């Protein structure tokens, strides 16, 4: 029988244990495509944030002498149009910058609202169970049986155009007009579309959150916390919510892409945000009418949609890998 002698530990504990955040960041950084996508998306966001500053021309100023200019050409006044002009002679680069503000802004803003609704309802349904769960789950089931796009189209076609009659508080419209770089008159329409998109987007998040809470709730540490006298609020806020958060982050990322595509599709079909407020979707809608004479026109708004959409998906993919502790990278 070997005797064990206490061996002094050679390495003194100088480093703190690595935090969860830095582990995730380290893992995410290894996903090269996701990092590249993140850079791409951040630069798009930066450009859209700076839109009013760097835009070379006024957004809505038509110039009927300079319609359908090809990219990199100059108009009669000698002004350079990097991306050409549209069917009213408005500078495409300028409109694209402002459009990215509206499109990306809507994608993030509407998804923030819908994710918040989904997470809160999912938390409640999963944690309390009983009649709360019954009501929320039934609502989810009913919403799930509706064809989403069809319903979205109906609701948008009904409420858009009527937004002037809805008394939004001035502070809200002012905030929206600042966030999306649109006039206060247009802000109501933008807000309307955002709210409708948010109202249709929460079901998936809610279902996912409910499932996560149901599984997290069974952990021993929840029982321990409860035995130590933690209140329901503390249990929810300190234990259940943080532990069911990782899949929600991925869900949010994919939700942003879903909203981006949904908004573009609505505007493309002429039901969402309409001219003069530019969005990638409605720019593409107009460009489609002229693509036979001017084949470069649809490329201008569709490439950003494509890049943003693929980039967001890759970021979501990278986050999924980074947040999953079972996955080895």
Partner 1 sequence: MAAFLVRRLLQMFLVTIVAAICSYTLLYISPGGPIDQLLGERQNGGVNRINQDDILRVKQRFELDIYAPVRFSRWLIGWPTGPILGSIGADWTVGCAIPGQVRLRYPDGRTEIVEEGCDQPVTLADLEGRKSSRGVFFLDFGVSQVILRDRPVIDLIGTRLPYTLYLMGGSTLLALVIAVPIGVYSAVKQYSRFDYTMTTIAFVGSSLPSFVFGIFAILIFSVLAKQAGLPYLPSGDAVGIRDYAIPLLGTIEAGSFFDRFLRFLMPCGVLTFISIAGWSRFVRGSMLEVLSQDYVRTARAKGVKESAVVLKHALRNSLIPFITLLAGVLATLFGGALITETVFNWPGLGRLYIDALGRSDYNVANALLLINVVLLLIGILITDILYTIVDPRIRLG
Report if residue 24 touches partner 1, rule: CB under 8 A.
no
String marking each residue 158-197 x if it binds partner 1 according to CB under 8 A: x--xx--x--------------------------------
Characterize the bridge pairing of strands 73-74 and 80-81: antiparallel
> Backbone phi, then psi, for 318, in 5-degree steps?
-65, -40
Residues 194 and 103: beta-carbon distance below 8 Å: no
- What is the DSSP code (8-state) at residue 85? B
Q: To the nearest whole angstrom, how small is the minimum distance from the Cβ of residue 252 to partner 1?
A: 16
Sites for partner 1 among residues 65-94 (CB under 8 A): none
Among 56, 58, 242, 270, binds partner 1 (CB under 8 A): 270
Report the residue number, 42 or 142, with the smaller CB distance to partner 1.
142
Among 109, 241, 271, 286, binds partner 1 (CB under 8 A): 271
Q: To the nearest whole angstrom, how small is the minimum distance from the Cβ of residue 298 to partner 1?
A: 5
Size of the site for partner 1 (CB under 8 A): 39
DSSP letters along 155-217, please?
Answer: HHHHHTT-GGGS---HHHHHHHHHHHT--HHHHHHHHHHHHHHHHHHHHHHHHHHHHHHHHHT
Q: To the nearest whole angstrom, how small is the minimum distance from the Cβ of residue 138 to partner 1?
A: 10
String marking each residue 238-257 x if it binds partner 1 according to CB under 8 A: -------------------x
255: which 2 tokens? 């939700």
Between CA 51 and CA 97 the distance in angstroms is 5
Q: To the nearest whole angstrom, how small is the minimum distance from the Cβ of residue 308 to partner 1?
A: 10
Q: To the nearest whole angstrom, how small is the minimum distance from the Cβ of residue 39 to partner 1?
A: 18
Residues 280 and 100: beta-carbon distance below 8 Å: yes
Q: Angle CA(312)–CA(315)–CA(321) in degrees, nearest 5?
A: 145
8: which 2 tokens? 């002094």
Report the residue number, 241 or 268, with the smaller CB distance to partner 1.
268
Q: Which residues lie closer than 8 Å to 83 by C-beta, 6 or more apart?
A: 71, 91, 92, 93, 96, 300
Among 25, 72, 237, 306, binds partner 1 (CB under 8 A): 306
Where does this chain touch partner 1 (CB under 8 A) — which range of 21-29, 43-51, 77-85, 289-297? 289-297
- Using alpha carbons, select from 325, 323, 275, 319 the residue that is nearest to residue 301: 275
Where does this chain touch partner 1 (CB under 8 A) — which range of 47-55, 76-84, 87-95, 305-313? 305-313
- Long-range contacts, 170-179 (Cβ 8 Å, 24+): 179/105, 179/109
The whole-angstrom distance between residue 65's C-alpha and the CA centroid of its chain comes to 38
String marking each residue 131-160 x if it binds partner 1 according to CB under 8 A: -----------x--xxx-xxx-xxx-xx--
Q: To the nearest whole angstrom, how small is the minimum distance from the Cβ of residue 313 to partner 1?
A: 4
Q: Which residues make up the interface to partner 1 (CB under 8 A)?
A: 142, 145-147, 149-151, 153-155, 157-158, 161-162, 165, 257, 261, 264-265, 268-271, 284, 288, 291-292, 295, 298-299, 302, 305-306, 309-310, 312-314, 317
């Amino acid at each position: 029988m070997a005797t064990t002698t206490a061996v002094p530990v050679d390495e003194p504990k100088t480093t703190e244990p690595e935090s969860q955040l830095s582990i995730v960041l380290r893992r995410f950084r290894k996903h090269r495509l996701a990092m590249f996508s993140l850079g791409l998306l951040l630069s798009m966001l930066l450009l859209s944030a700076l839109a009013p500053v760097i835009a070379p021309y006024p957004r809505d100023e038509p110039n009927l002498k300079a319609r359908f200019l090809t990219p990199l050409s100059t108009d009669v006044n000698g002004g350079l149009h990097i991306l050409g002009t549209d069917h009213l002679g408005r500078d495409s680069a300028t409109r694209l910058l402002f459009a990215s503000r509206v499109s990306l802004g809507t994608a993030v803003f509407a998804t923030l609202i819908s994710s918040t609704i989904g997470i809160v309802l999912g938390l409640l349904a999963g944690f309390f169970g009983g009649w709360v769960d019954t009501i929320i789950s039934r609502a989810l089931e009913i919403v799930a049986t509706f064809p989403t796009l069809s319903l979205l189209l109906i609701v948008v076609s009904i409420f858009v155009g009527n937004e002037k009659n809805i008394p939004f508080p001035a502070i809200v419209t002012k905030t929206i007009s600042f966030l999306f770089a649109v006039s206060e008159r247009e802000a109501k329409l933008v807000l309307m579309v955002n709210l409708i998109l948010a109202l249709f987007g929460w079901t998936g998040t809610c279902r996912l959150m409910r499932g996560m809470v149901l599984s997290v709730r069974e952990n021993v540490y929840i029982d321990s916390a409860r035995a130590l006298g933690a209140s329901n609020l503390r249990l929810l806020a300190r234990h259940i919510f943080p532990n069911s958060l990782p899949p929600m982050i991925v869900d949010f990322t994919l939700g942003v892409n879903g909203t981006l595509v949904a908004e573009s599709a609505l505007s493309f079909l002429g039901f969402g945000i309409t001219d003069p407020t530019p969005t990638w979707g409605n720019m593409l809608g107009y460009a489609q009418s002229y693509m036979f004479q001017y084949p470069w026109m649809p490329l201008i708004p569709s490439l950003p949609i494509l890049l943003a959409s693929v980039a967001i998906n890759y970021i979501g993919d990278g986050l999924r890998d980074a947040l999953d502790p079972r996955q080895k990278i």
